[in-house]
Structure 1
Amino acid sequence: MLYLGLKYVHVIAAIFLFGFGMGSYLYLIAASRAANPQVIAHVARMVVRYDAWITTPAGFIQILTGYMLTRLSGLPLTTEWVLVSLILFFIVGSLWLPVLVLQKRLQGMAVSAVERGAGLDADYQAVYRQWFWMGVFGFLGMFVIVLMMVTKMTPAQWLGLLM
């Protein structure tokens, strides 16, 4: 029963991590495309808050429950799909902290533009592009991790099946 309970929490945390992360990402993209500093400041404030309060803790819950599940099932961390997914998880996680910092910078830049009654400048666009592409690569990694969790296969094993 403990295993099934942990697996349930692991899946729910994955849904929160992926769902809230993707939602935040898409909302900030939509706000930025509006090019209205007031809208961007408001949306970015919410994105920063929800990513800090929900998405980030879900990532830590993923690590904890995933580790506990491998221990309970006797699955070594060196099992190929487990090891590759852990490596990808930490790569995606290494993108996550800078993304949080960039989101906070975007929020600050938008607030500053509102206070000055100005539009967003080239600096905003440069930070936004960096944030955008880190998000693209982070979510690609998350898609691969979820696929490995479901199939218990690495990308190399998938390619072997296709060939």
Structure 2
Amino acid sequence: MLYLCLKYLHIIAAIFLFGFGMGSYLYLIAASRTANPQVIAHVARMVVRFDTWITTPAGFIQIITGYALIKLAGLPLSTDWVLTALIIFLCVGSLWLPVLVLQKRLCRMASSAVATGEALDDGYASVYRQWFWLGVAGFAGMFVIVLIMVTKMTPAQWLGLLL
């Protein structure tokens, strides 16, 4: 029963991590496309809040429940699919702090533009591009992790099946 409860929490945390993360990402993309500093500042504040208070804790719950599930299942961390998923998760996680920092910068830049009544400058576009591409890399990794979790196969094993 403990295993099933942990698995349930692990899946719910994955849904929150992926769902809130992707939702925040898409909302800030949409807001930035308006080029309206008021819209961007408002959305960026919410994105930072949601990512700090919901998405980040979901990531920690993923680590804790994943480790507990591995131990209960009697799998070593060196199991191919487990190790691969863990490495990718750590790589995606290492992108997380820069993403939060960049989101806060985008929010400050948009809020400053609102306060001064000016348009966003080229600095915003530069920071936005960095944030955008870190998001692409992070979500690509998350898609791969979910595929590993579902199939219990590494990307190399998938390629072996396809070739």
Counterpart for residue 117 of structure 2: 117
> Matches of 2:40 and 2:137 in 1, distance apart?
22
> Matches of 2:20 and 2:78 in 1, distance apart?
30
Counterpart for residue 47 of structure 1: 47
How big is the shift at 1:56? 0.2
Counterpart for residue 32 of structure 1: 32
SS in 1 for 2:75: coil
User: Which residues of 2 match residues 137-156 of structure 1 at below 5 A?
Assistant: 137-156=137-156
Give 5+ residue unaligned stretches, structure 2.
none
Q: Figure out how many residues of one structure are paired with residues of the other and give that number.
A: 163
> Matches of 1:53 and 1:117 in 2, distance apart?
31
How big is the shift at 1:160? 0.2
> Matches of 2:139 and 2:53 in 1, distance apart?
19
Supply the RMSD in Å over aligned alpha carbons.
Answer: 0.3
User: Which residues of 2 match residues 18-97 of structure 1 at below 5 A?
Assistant: 18-97=18-97
> Matches of 2:85 and 2:119 in 1, distance apart?
42
Task: Give every structure 1 segment of 4 or more consecutive aligned residues whose post-TM-superposition deviation is greater than 3 Å.
Answer: none
> Matches of 1:121 and 1:154 in 2, distance apart?
44
SS in 2 for 1:63: helix
SS in 2 for 1:118: coil
Q: TM-score normalised to the size of structure 1?
A: 1.00
How big is the shift at 1:158? 0.2
Q: TM-score normalised to the size of structure 2?
A: 1.00
